[in-house]
């Protein structure tokens, strides 16, 4: 999730009925609301705050069973999240449905796969580390929430509502076309190429108590992030060419001036 998480221009909606455009708008709005609820639940799920089921709760099962189920759940999300983000899928989608709902559909299915993960996640409660010092534990907890704030803030730097499909369906409803997002590097994007991914990594790893299940989740999602960066940057180079190559040479991937 970086500079070009968008669908591109929509087809003009002038020949489409008002009812169809209204349904498209409602679909996009519903997909966004489901995403918003899923995102907030994800914060509680990983941070273990104010949700009925978090990463360390739920019916216990054997370690092997829990490991297999959790790996399958994360694999489902990874396949959906990366597969539908590729340009080839977007072109295929446009053959069967309006491009105006492509992004909303992506967001909806990503949210549903996460909901499935939250629902079926198997706890692995063995403690890997625990921070006893209350000050250090508080810093770790605050760091986790800071990571989530970095994620959210970074989405607004690159057009939050287009990133999650609302701009596309609103433009379609109004009978307008959405202009392709131009290459830009505002705010944190001047320091690192992928602040959204960095925010997720911080959120997943900063915790005062790391269980085996949480460690599995953090390790697999971090590995997936690096795969996602590779695939995304390949698309960015294809889309922006030498402009993105120069940006990649000058700006670090995740840690300013280092990596």
- Whole-angstrom CA distances from 211 to 128, 199, 222 are 5, 20, 16
Statement: residue 10 has pLDDT above 80: no
The average pLDDT across 169-191 equals 85
Statement: residue 126 has pLDDT above 50: yes
- How far is CA 238 from its chain centroid? 22
Mean pLDDT taken over the chain: 90
Statement: residue 128 has pLDDT above 90: yes
The average pLDDT across 86-115 equals 89
- pLDDT for the residue 15: 63
- How far is CA 220 from its chain centroid? 15
Buried/exposed code over 49-79 (b: 16+ C-beta within 10 A; e: otherwise): eebebbbbebeeeeeeebbeebeebbebbbe
- How far is residue 205's CA from residue 217's CA, in Å, rounded to a whole number? 9
- How far is CA 95 from its chain centroid? 25
- pLDDT for the residue 137: 95
Size of the chain, expressed as the number of residues it contains: 259
The average pLDDT across 63-73 equals 96
- pLDDT for the residue 1: 40
User: CA end-to-end span of the chain, whole Å?
Assistant: 18
Rg of the chain's alpha carbons, rounded to an integer?
19
Pair 127, 209: CB distance under 8 Å = yes
Which is higher by pLDDT, 176 or 164? 164
Dig out the tokens for 138 from the structure. Answer: 């508080």
């Amino acid at each position: 999730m970086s500079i070009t998480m968008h669908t591109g221009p929509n087809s003009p909606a002038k020949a489409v009925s008002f009812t169809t455009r209204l349904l498209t708008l409602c679909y996009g709005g519903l997909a966004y609301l489901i995403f918003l609820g899923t995102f907030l639940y994800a914060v509680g799920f990983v941070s273990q705050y104010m949700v009925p089921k978090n990463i360390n709760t739920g019916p216990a099962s054997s370690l092997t069973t829990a490991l297999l189920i959790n790996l399958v759940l994360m694999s489902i999300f990874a396949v959906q999240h990366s597969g539908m983000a590729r340009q080839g899928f977007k072109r295929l989608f446009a053959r069967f449905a309006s491009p105006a709902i492509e992004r909303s559909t992506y967001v909806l299915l990503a949210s549903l796969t996460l909901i499935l993960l939250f629902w079926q996640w198997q706890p692995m409660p063995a403690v890997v580390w625990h921070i006893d010092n209350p000050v250090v534990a508080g810093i770790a907890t605050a760091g986790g929430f800071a990571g989530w704030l970095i994620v959210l803030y970074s989405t607004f730097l690159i057009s939050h509502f287009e990133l999650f499909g609302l701009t596309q369906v609103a433009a379609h409803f109004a009978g307008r076309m959405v202009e392709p997002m131009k290459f830009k590097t505002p705010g944190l994007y001047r320091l690192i190429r992928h602040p959204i991914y960095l925010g997720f990594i911080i959120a997943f790893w900063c915790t005062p108590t790391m269980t085996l299940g949480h460690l599995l989740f953090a390790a697999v999602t971090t590995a997936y992030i690096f795969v996602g960066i590779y695939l995304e940057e390949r698309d960015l180079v294809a889309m922006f060419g030498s402009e993105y190559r120069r940006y990649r040479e000058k700006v670090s991937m995740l840690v300013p001036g280092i990596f």
